[in-house]
A and B are shown apart, each in its own frame.
Chain A
Amino acid sequence: MKLCIKEQEHYRTDAIFFLIGLVLFFPLFAFGLWFGHTGYNRIGQMFACGFQRVTGFPCPGCGGTRAFYYLFRGEFFKSFLYHPAVLYGMGAYLEFMALYLYRNYIRKTNREIQIQYYLYGALFVIVLQWVVKLAFIVARLIHIL
């Protein structure tokens, strides 16, 4: 299997991301399986958000640990509710790896995958879920006051 990263003095971004994805595949899934079954109960408290404790408002990453935990326990809806970017990231990762393999080794085309669309999507999901969470918090505060 030949990986073509450098093509005529031009480094292909998608090939670099594919290599990173390959390197991260086994460690990520091994950690996820461990975290989903025993790890969260042992070290889950380490990931408590200081921003939420101090300010009372969630940060854009709040709920990510629980979403990761529920993702590897197979509870996708709960994972989505806690932090949709985790589910999005996993879906985007699997889609990107499959698309890269399909284009380069089955269809054998040199079309580069546009990484920026995955990043824009991630940014959109993160900002949207944060705004929704803040809206819920503000509505609750207004109700209390």
Chain B
Amino acid sequence: MSEEKKIYCTQCGSENAAGSKFCVNCGSKLEELPAQNDTAEAAQEMPEEKNVYAEGLPSEQEPVFEKVTNAEEIKPEPIQGQAQQEDIHITYETPAQTQYYDSSNSQAETVSEKKGNMGIAIASLVCGILSILCCCLTCFSVVLSIAAIVLGIITLVNKYDGKGMAIAGIATGGVGILLVVIFLIAGTSSTYQDLLDEIMY
């Protein structure tokens, strides 16, 4: 087995090749860290303690951190918009290493917390339902369908509340437009009208 040295990012915990200056995952400046063997040993010692950054842990349950960076000499530059963390590194691997971020300030959490505005999803679904109910009023139905689709897409793109309603709104809006298209094609097709007259009368 090759004993290839690896270093770990103090910001996100990602594994990087030895000699790397910046983390391939988060782009922050890297410091020299011990090899993977140390990591495996430490993992055997502390297999249970994973969410070590959770606030409010009782003092007796606090995991043992091993200080592996020379943080006193050169402190890594903090990511913009992120609170300065303690320069400690946990020397065992966990499946969810992104939990090392400070959960209150990380950019990833900021994106996922963008909630509210359920009214847009509700409006999307209401427009979609009305568009399929009024599909014989072609222009009105097309306007409602487009509104349903646009509002649904806005909800999905901005990750607002009501994802299910947004999807239902987009679907009903699509069905509304489809019905209008069928209506227009059938209305302008003489072949279809002759066939219909033959069947019905």
A binding-site residues for B, Cβ under 8 Å: 10-11, 13, 16, 49-52, 54-56, 59-61, 64, 85, 115-116, 119-120, 122-123, 126, 141, 144-145
Starting from the known contacts A123-B172, A126-B133, 9 additional A-B residue pairs (CB-CB under 8 Å) come to A13-B118, A13-B122, A50-B136, A51-B135, A61-B134, A61-B135, A116-B122, A116-B164, A126-B129
Q: How long is the Cα–Cα vector from A123 to B175 in the complex, in angstroms? A: 12
B157-201 residues at the A interface, CB under 8 angstroms: 162, 164-165, 168, 172, 179, 182-183, 186-187, 192-193, 196, 199-200
The verdict on B116 contacting chain A, using a C-beta distance below 8 Å, is yes
Which B-chain residue is minimally distant from A47 (CB atoms)?
B136
Query: For B134, what are the chain A residues with a Cβ–Cβ distance below 8 Å?
Result: 61
The verdict on B27 contacting chain A, using a C-beta distance below 8 Å, is no
The verdict on B35 contacting chain A, using a C-beta distance below 8 Å, is no
Q: Are B182 and A115 in contact (CB under 8 A)?
A: no
B56-107 residues at the A interface, CB under 8 angstroms: none
Q: How long is the Cα–Cα vector from A64 to B137 in the complex, in angstroms? A: 14
The verdict on B19 contacting chain A, using a C-beta distance below 8 Å, is no
Q: Are A13 and B199 in contact (CB under 8 A)?
A: no
B187 → A minimal CB distance (Å): 4
Q: Are A51 and B136 in contact (CB under 8 A)?
A: yes
Which A-chain residue is minimally distant from B135 (CB atoms)?
A59
Residue A119 contacts which of B119, B129, B132, B136 (CB distance < 8 angstroms)? B129
Q: Are A56 and B199 in contact (CB under 8 A)?
A: yes
Query: For B186, what are the chain A residues with a Cβ–Cβ distance below 8 Å?
Result: 54-55
Q: How long is the Cα–Cα vector from A77 to B133 in the complex, in angstroms? A: 21
A-B contact pairs, 28 of them (CB 8 A): A50-B183, A50-B187, A51-B135, A51-B183, A52-B136, A54-B186, A54-B187, A55-B182, A55-B183, A55-B186, A60-B132, A61-B136, A64-B133, A115-B122, A116-B118, A116-B121, A116-B122, A116-B125, A116-B162, A116-B164, A116-B165, A119-B122, A119-B125, A119-B126, A123-B129, A123-B172, A126-B129, A145-B199
A12 → B minimal CB distance (Å): 10
Q: How long is the Cα–Cα vector from A42 to B196 in the complex, in angstroms? A: 30
Q: How long is the Cα–Cα vector from A51 to B182 in the complex, in angstroms? A: 9
Once A54-B183, A141-B199 are accepted as A-B contacts, the answer to whether A49 and B136 lie under 8 Å apart by CB is: yes
Q: Are B179 and A51 in contact (CB under 8 A)?
A: yes
Q: Are B133 and A123 in contact (CB under 8 A)?
A: no
Interface size on B, residues (CB 8 A): 28
Q: Are B122 and A60 in contact (CB under 8 A)?
A: no
Q: Are B132 and A61 in contact (CB under 8 A)?
A: yes
Which A-chain residue is minimally distant from B168 (CB atoms)?
A123
Residue A120 contacts which of B168, B183, B199 (CB distance < 8 angstroms)? B168
Q: How long is the Cα–Cα vector from A122 to B132 in the complex, in angstroms? A: 12
A143 → B minimal CB distance (Å): 11
Which B-chain residue is minimally distant from A61 (CB atoms)?
B133
A19 → B minimal CB distance (Å): 13
B181 → A minimal CB distance (Å): 11
